[in-house]
């Protein structure tokens, strides 16, 4: 007997009803009961069972046709059991579609979040083929997000240390390597997942490496700056304890010891000032400092410290007020002025000025006729402990922190430090402050002419 086709509707219930309906008149005939009404009811039951069976068969065919083709759109409107099955099937399909749409949205959001990460992320298979990567990874390794998909990562990034790290699956060790362009330092981690897949994480640590190097240099420089005067002090202490010195020799030794002690004290003071400036909150814009008062105080300190060794000219044009911290602003102005006095030979000229700018800002300027600074040194002048001439700086009492303090003060007040210099002609240091930090002096009130009434 051939198998019933898959799309042939089930016939158990209608067939059973048809069998019952057909058996009724037969039973009546066998019993000799031939009443017309009974026979009519039997015939009617047979007709209804046949109609039910044919209707269900057609409805099931329509439903099966819809389900076999695409299940798109609404289910066909049918009566009876086929209609109920269609409605339930349509409801289940709609729920599954909504769930699939929600999952697709969650996946899209997840991928968007990964793409926005500053860290690089690559998914590679057992053959090192790139299955997926985010923009940060493409930038770190110099890859093309579309063109390089499917290609072996080891064919695109050929650094031997990276290839060995990738083949060893990284373990828990971090690989530090330059990026392919050579302009950044990367930290790379490799983690296996999903059996044969591997996850490659990369992070740009250029700034961290630079900060670590600066910290190491800072500690080394501080140690060196303190060790030098301490060595002198210890030497003189030993000499005074072990050798019979005359009064003149003792006085000379004490003078040198005092000089070295003052040098260490100045160094510690500058270090504390720099630490305080770096850790303090941004200056408030509500506190205003009178420029004329600041310039008069600066002139007094310049004259007192210079002892008439230079020609000093201090001018202020426009006056006004500055928004910020008075002690920090004076410290920046004084550092520039004292540097000019320290490095300009006796008899030279130092000009200190304040000028309001056309854009509403202000400029503090210090010009000198000193030896000048070579162009290659200018970008590094604001680094801590950087000196153009180490021996001359120490001989004049400099700590190498003055311009670093100036730079931090200026940045905290939203300004910029500009340096120009020419060897043999002198230097110019300018602090430019933005208009939001400068308030011009109020215009003077003109007296009313005599004989006029207010």
Please, which residues have CB within 8 angstroms of residue 314's CB and are 6 or more apart in sequence?
A: 295, 298, 299, 302, 351, 352, 353
Q: Tell me the average pLDDT across 67-74.
A: 62
- Tokens 């530090």 correspond to 176
* pLDDT at residue 3 is higher than 50: no
Check whether 93 has a pLDDT greater than 90.
Answer: no
Three-class secondary structure assignment of 233-299: HHHHHHHHHHCCCCHHHHHHHHHHHHHHHHHHHHHHHHHHHHHHHHHCCCCCCCCEEEHHHHHHHHH
Whether 24 shows a pLDDT value over 60: the answer reads no
* 328 CB neighbour count, 10 Å cutoff: 22
- Distance CA(121)–CA(212), nearest Å, equals 25
CA 172 to chain centre: 25
Asked if pLDDT for residue 38 goes beyond 60, the answer is no
Q: Are residues 172 and 301 in the same domain?
A: no
CB 407 within 8 A of CB 429: no
**Reported confidence tier of residue 353, pLDDT bands at 50, 70, 90:** very high
- Per-residue pLDDT tens for 186-207? 999 998 888 889 999 999 999 8
Answer yes or no: is pLDDT of 86 > 80: no
Bridge partners (DSSP) of residue 383 are none
| CATH code where residue 301 lies | 3.30.565.10
pTM flag (> 0.85)? no
**What is the per-residue pLDDT across 301-338, written as a single tens digit (0 to 9) for each?**
999 888 888 899 999 887 789 999 898 899 999 999 99
Residues 303 and 433 in one domain: yes
Pairing type for strands 362-368 and 416-422 reads: unpaired
HSE-up of residue 276 (Cα within 13 Å, Cβ side): 10
Q: Are residues 297 and 346 in the same domain?
A: yes
pLDDT of 422 strictly over 50: yes
Per-residue pLDDT tens over the stretch 257-282: 888 888 888 888 878 888 877 777 77
136 CB burial (10 A radius; 0-12, 13-18, 19+): buried
- Please give the pLDDT value at position 202: 92
pLDDT at 269: 83
Domains: count for the chain: 4
The residue-averaged pLDDT of 6-11 equals 44
Asked whether residue 193 falls in the same domain as residue 215, the answer is no
Sheet with 120-124: list strands edge to edge: 130-133, 120-124, 197-204, 185-193, 175-178
Distance CA 274, CA 399 (A): 12
| pLDDT value, residue 79 | 62
- Mean pLDDT along residues 69-96: 68
303 and 389 co-located in one domain: yes
pLDDT band at 11; cut points 50, 70, 90: very low
Q: Look up the domain containing 376 and give its range.
A: 288-439
Question: Can you give the CATH number for the domain in which 248 is found?
Answer: 1.10.287.130
Same domain flag for 27 and 53: yes
Residues 6+ apart with CB under 8 A from 262: none
Q: Report residue 270: phi and psi, to 5°.
A: -65, -40
Do 24 and 146 lie in one domain? The reply is: no
Q: Is residue 265 part of a domain?
A: yes
Does residue 354 register a pLDDT over 90?
A: yes
Give pLDDT tens digits for 102-156. Answer: 888 887 887 777 777 888 999 999 899 999 999 999 999 999 988 999 999 999 9
Q: Which of 375, 382, 298, 391 shows the shortest CA–CA distance to 338? A: 298
Average pLDDT of the residues of the chain: 79
76, 188: one domain: no
Residue 446 lies inside a defined structural domain of this protein: no
Residues 319 and 265 in one domain: no
Q: Are 333 and 416 found together in one domain? A: yes
- 339 or 53, which is more confident: 339
Share of the chain above pLDDT 70, in %: 76
Average pLDDT on 62-72 reads 63
pLDDT at 432: 94
The CATH number for 140's domain is 3.30.450.20
Is residue 392 over pLDDT 60?
no
pLDDT reading at 50 higher than 70? no
Q: Pseudo-torsion of CA 394, 395, 397, 399, nearest 10°?
A: -10
Residues in contact with 410: Cβ distance below 8 Å, sequence separation at least 6, in sequence order: 332, 416, 417, 431, 433
Same domain? For 293 and 432 the reply is yes
Taking CA 440 as the corner, what is the angle to CA 438 and CA 446, rounded to the nearest 5 degrees? Answer: 170
> Which pair of structure tokens corresponds to residue 403?
């311009």
The pLDDT > 90 percentage for the chain reads: 26
Residue-wise pLDDT for 370-387, tens only, equals 999 999 899 888 888 787
Has residue 390 got a pLDDT over 70? no
Per-residue confidence (pLDDT) for residue 215, from 0 to 100 = 79
- Shared domain check, 302 and 320: yes
Residues 272 and 265: their CA atoms lie apart, in Å, by 11
Examine residue 454 and state whether it is found in any structural domain, yes or no.
no
CA distance 133 to 125: 12
Nearest CA to 334 out of 304, 307, 361, 311 is that of 304
129: which residues sit within 8 A by CB, 6+ positions away?
150, 151, 152, 153
């Amino acid at each position: 007997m051939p198998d019933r086709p898959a799309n042939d509707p089930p016939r158990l219930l209608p067939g059973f009803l048809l069998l019952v309906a057909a058996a009724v008149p037969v039973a009546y005939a066998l019993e000799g009961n031939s009443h017309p009404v009974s026979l009519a009811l039997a015939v009617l039951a047979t007709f209804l069972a046949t109609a039910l069976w044919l209707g269900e068969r057609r409805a099931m065919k329509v439903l099966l046709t819809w389900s076999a083709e695409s299940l798109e759109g609404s289910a066909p409107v049918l009566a009876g059991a086929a209609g109920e099955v269609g409605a339930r099937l349509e409801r289940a399909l709609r729920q599954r579609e909504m769930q699939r749409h929600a999952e697709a949205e969650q996946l899209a959001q997840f991928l968007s979040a990964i793409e926005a990460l500053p860290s690089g992320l690559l998914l590679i298979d057992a053959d090192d083929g790139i299955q997926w990567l985010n923009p940060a990874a493409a930038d770190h390794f110099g890859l093309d997000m579309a063109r390089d998909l499917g290609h072996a990562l080891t064919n695109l990034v050929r650094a031997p240390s990276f290839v060995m790290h990738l083949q060893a699956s990284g373990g828990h060790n971090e690989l530090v390597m330059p990026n392919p362009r050579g302009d950044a330092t990367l930290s790379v981690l490799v983690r296996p997942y999903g059996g044969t897949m591997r996850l490659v994480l990369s992070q740009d640590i250029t700034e961290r490496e630079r900060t670590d190097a600066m910290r190491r240099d800072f500690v080394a420089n501080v140690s060196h700056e303190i060790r030098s005067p301490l060595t002198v002090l210890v030497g003189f202490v030993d000499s005074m304890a072990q050798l019979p010195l005359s009064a003149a020799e003792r006085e000379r030794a004490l003078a040198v010891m005092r000089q070295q002690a003052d040098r260490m004290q100045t160094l510690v003071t500058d270090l504390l000032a720099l630490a305080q400036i770096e850790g303090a909150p941004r200056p408030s814009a509500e506190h205003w400092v009178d420029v004329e008062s600041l310039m008069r105080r600066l002139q007094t300190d310049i004259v007192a410290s210079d002892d008439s060794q230079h020609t000093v000219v201090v001018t202020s044009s426009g006056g006004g007020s500055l928004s910020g911290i008075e002690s920090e602003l004076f410290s920046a102005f004084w550092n520039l002025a004292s540097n000019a006095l320290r490095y300009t030979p006796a008899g030279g000229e130092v000009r200190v000025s304040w000028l309001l700018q056309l854009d509403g800002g202000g400029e503090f300027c210090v010009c000198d006729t000193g030896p000048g600074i070579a162009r290659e040194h200018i970008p590094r002048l604001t680094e801590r402990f950087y000196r153009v001439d180490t021996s001359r700086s120490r001989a004049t009492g400099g700590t190498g922190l003055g311009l670093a303090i100036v730079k931090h003060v200026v940045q905290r007040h939203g300004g910029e430090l500009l340096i120009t210099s020419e060897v043999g002609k002198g230097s110019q240091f300018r602090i430019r402050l933005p208009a939001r930090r400068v308030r011009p002096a109020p215009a003077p009130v003109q007296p009313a002419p005599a004989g006029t009434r207010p």
